[in-house]
Structure 1
C-alpha cells in the first residue's frame, strides 16, 4: 500500500513538474515577410533560411528572459513582392500575435506594410533600401542594411574614381527600390563629374530591353546603371552583349546575386558590377563560421542577405535578454539605444532607424557568382 502511495505521489509530482516546466517557457513568434513565389523567390527563400538558422541555433541553447526559457517560432509568409499582398501578410501576423518581423525585402512592400506594423506595436527589421522607409518616423522600424543613398552613391563613386568613367546612363524599373537607387546613383554621378547621357524606364515584369539599349548604344555610354532586380538585369546583360554594347552594367544589391549569373550565363562576368550593403563576409570575424553553418544546414551557399536576416533575428533575441522582457515596447528602445555585433556588420541605429555605419561592398562576377572587389 505504501509503495503504491509513493508511486502515485511521484507520478503527481512528475505531472506538476511537467506543467511547471511548460509554464516556464514562453513562445516568441518571429515573422518573415518576403517574396517566396515568382521571379524573386530565390531571394525570399535565402532570407528566410538566414532567419531560420538563427532561430534553430537559439532554440538549441535556449535563452532565458524574465526567468522563463524562450522558444522561438518562425512564421514565414509569401508577400509576393507586392504591396497589397505585403499589407495582407502584415495583418495576418498582427492578428496571429507576431510582435517581431524580419522583412519585408522589397521597398515597395515595406513602405505600406510598416504603417500597419507600427500601428500594432510590432518591431520590424528590414533590408529594404528606399530612404522613404525610415523617413516615416516609426520608432519600431530598423533598417539592417545600407540605404539607396549609400548603395547608389557608392556605386557612382566607384565608377568615377576607380573606373574613371566620364559618361553613363540610367535605367530604372519604376519600383520604389529601382527608382530610389537609380536617382541616388544619378545624383552622385553628376556630383562626381560624370555626364548622365540618358535615363530610361522599364518595369519589373519586362524581359525585352532592345529598344532602350539601342537608344543608349547610340550615346556611346561607358556604363549603364540599372535600378532593378536580377530577373530583369540578367536578360539586360544578355541583350547588351547581343547588341555589341561594351559598356559595363552597374546595379545595386538586388543584382548582386548568384541568380544574376545563373540567368545571365556567359553574358554576366567582369562586365557587371554591383553594390551591396555589409562588409565582405570572408573578412568578417564571424563570416566563415556563418557561411559554413549555412552551407551545412541548407546544402547551398548563403546569398545576398541571409546573414542580415540571421543578424536581425539574433539582434531581437539579444535585446530581449538586455530588456529582460519579450514585450516589443521594452525591447524596441534597447535596440534603438544599443549596439549588436552581427555577422554582416555592427547594428547601431540613428534616430530614424538607419544604421550609423553601414559598409558597402562592390562586387563583380566570376564563374557566375558575385566576387567582392572592395569595401568602403
Structure 2
C-alpha cells in the first residue's frame, strides 16, 4: 500500500511538473481567407513575430507561448464557431476578431468562458455591452467619425459630399458617425446610401453619385469595395475623393485601385512605424520583407499586452489578468496602453492620412 501511495505521489509530482512547463496558448482570429484575407495576414505576421520575440526572451512566467490561429472570414457565424473552438483549446488570451460584426458575437463566447481578449474592432458596441473580458487597443468609430466628419467640413467647403456604408456593423457605424459629425457642423450629406459588400458591380451607386454631382465620398466599409468604386467611377468619368476609416491602411487598395488610390483619405491611429520606441521591431519586420503597415504592429502589441499583464499579475488566470489589464499601464510598440471601465483605450487618437504613390502618410 505504501509503495502504491509513493508511486501515486511521484505520478502527481510528474504531472504537476509537466503542467507547469506546458505551453501557454494564445490566439488570434480574423479573416485569414476571403476578400479581407490581407488584413488577416497582417494580424498573423504581427502576432507570429511577437510570440517569437517573447519566447526568445524566456516566454511568460517561465513558459513558452504557442500561437493558435482562427479564420472567421469576417462572417459572424463562423466567428462564433472559431470562438468555441478556441475555448475548447483552453487558450489564455485572444487577439481578435477584426471585423466588428465578428468581434461582437464572438466576444460573448469568450466572456462566458472567462477568456480575456484584445481587439482593434472600432464599433462602439464592442465595449458598450458591459463585458469585462474585452480590451480595445484602437479607438472607436464615434471618435474617428468625428475626426473624419470635421475634416470633410473644413477642407471641402461647397463640395457635395455623399455618405455611403456597406451595411456591416463597422461600416454603418462609421458612416453614421461621419454623417452625425457633419450635421453637427451644419453640413448635411447630399446623398446617404448603402451598398452590399462583396458585389462585383457598383455602377448603380456610381450613377447616383454622378447624377447628384457628388465630388467627395465618405465611405464606411472596407478597402476592397473602395477600390472597385474608384475604378468604376473613373470609367464613368466621375472624379471622386474618398474619405474612409482605419481599414483603408491596406496596400491591397493600391494594387486594386492603381493610381486612383491617391484619391483616398482615411482616419487611423498615429502610425506606430513612427514611434521611436518601436524602431527595432519595425526594422526586424522590414528585414524579414514585411512592411508593418495597418494592423501588423497592433497584433504585435496585443501579444506584448498579454505578456506584460501576465507578468504583473504573476498569473494567466482570467480574474488575475482582467484585474491587471484594468488597473495597469503597458508599454507596447503602438505606445502606452491603459483602459477605462468599459475596456476602451484611455488615450485613443485618430489622424487623417492620404495614400500617395503606394504609401500612406499623415495629411500635410
Whether 1:308 and 2:304 are equivalent positions in the alignment is no
Provide, for residues 274-332 of structure 1, a one-character-per-residue CA deviation record: whole Å limited to 9, x for no partner. 111x21234312233222111223x2212211111111110110011111111121011
Provide, for residues 111-137 of structure 1, a one-character-per-residue CA deviation record: whole Å limited to 9, x for no partner. 111101000001111111111110111
Partner of 1:353: 343
Runs of 4+ more than 6 Å apart:
18-21
Cα offset for 1:211? Answer: 1.3
Tell me how far apart the structure 1 counterparts of residues 104 and 348 of structure 2 sit (CA, whole Å).
Answer: 21
Deviates more, 1:170-179 or 1:338-347: 338-347
* Paired residue secondary structure (2:208): helix
Deviates more, 1:191-200 or 1:319-328: 191-200
Which residue of 306, 311, 322 corresponds with 1:321? Answer: 311
Partner of 1:243: 236
Which residue of 196, 212, 229 corresponds with 2:205? Answer: 212
Tell me how far apart the structure 2 counterparts of residues 72 and 147 of structure 1 sit (CA, whole Å).
Answer: 30
Tell me how far apart the structure 2 counterparts of residues 314 and 280 of structure 1 sit (CA, whole Å).
Answer: 18
Query: Using a 3 Å threshold, how does the CA distance of structure 1 residues 90 and 209 change in structure 2: closer, same or farther?
Result: same
Contact 2:26 2:91 in 1 (8 A): yes
Contact 2:31 2:73 in 1 (8 A): yes
C-alpha RMSD of the superposition = 1.8
Cα offset for 1:80? Answer: 1.1
Tell me how far apart the structure 1 counterparts of residues 206 and 308 of structure 2 sit (CA, whole Å).
Answer: 49
Pairs within 5 Å for 1:58-137: 58-63=54-59, 65=61, 69-137=62-130
Deviates more, 1:157-166 or 1:246-255: 157-166
Provide, for residues 39-61 of structure 1, a one-character-per-residue CA deviation record: whole Å limited to 9, x for no partner. 11110011111111111000001
Tell me how far apart the structure 1 counterparts of residues 157 and 332 of structure 2 sit (CA, whole Å).
Answer: 34
Deviates more, 1:164-173 or 1:136-145: 164-173
Contact 2:35 2:198 in 1 (8 A): no
Query: Using a 3 Å threshold, how does the CA distance of structure 1 residues 287 and 362 change in structure 2: closer, same or farther?
Result: farther
Tell me how far apart the structure 2 counterparts of residues 116 and 262 of structure 1 sit (CA, whole Å).
Answer: 36
Which residue of 272, 296, 302 corresponds with 1:281? Answer: 272
Deviates more, 1:90-99 or 1:360-369: 360-369
Contact 1:227 1:251 in 2 (8 A): yes
Query: Using a 3 Å threshold, how does the CA distance of structure 1 residues 186 and 314 change in structure 2: closer, same or farther?
Result: same
Contact 1:146 1:360 in 2 (8 A): yes
Tell me how far apart the structure 1 counterparts of residues 167 and 15 of structure 2 sit (CA, whole Å).
Answer: 55
Which residue of 39, 42, 49 corresponds with 2:38? Answer: 42
Contact 2:30 2:72 in 1 (8 A): yes
Whether 1:254 and 2:247 are equivalent positions in the alignment is yes
Cα offset for 1:335? Answer: 0.6
TM-score normalized by the length of structure 2:
0.92
TM-score normalized by the length of structure 1:
0.89
Contact 1:159 1:165 in 2 (8 A): no
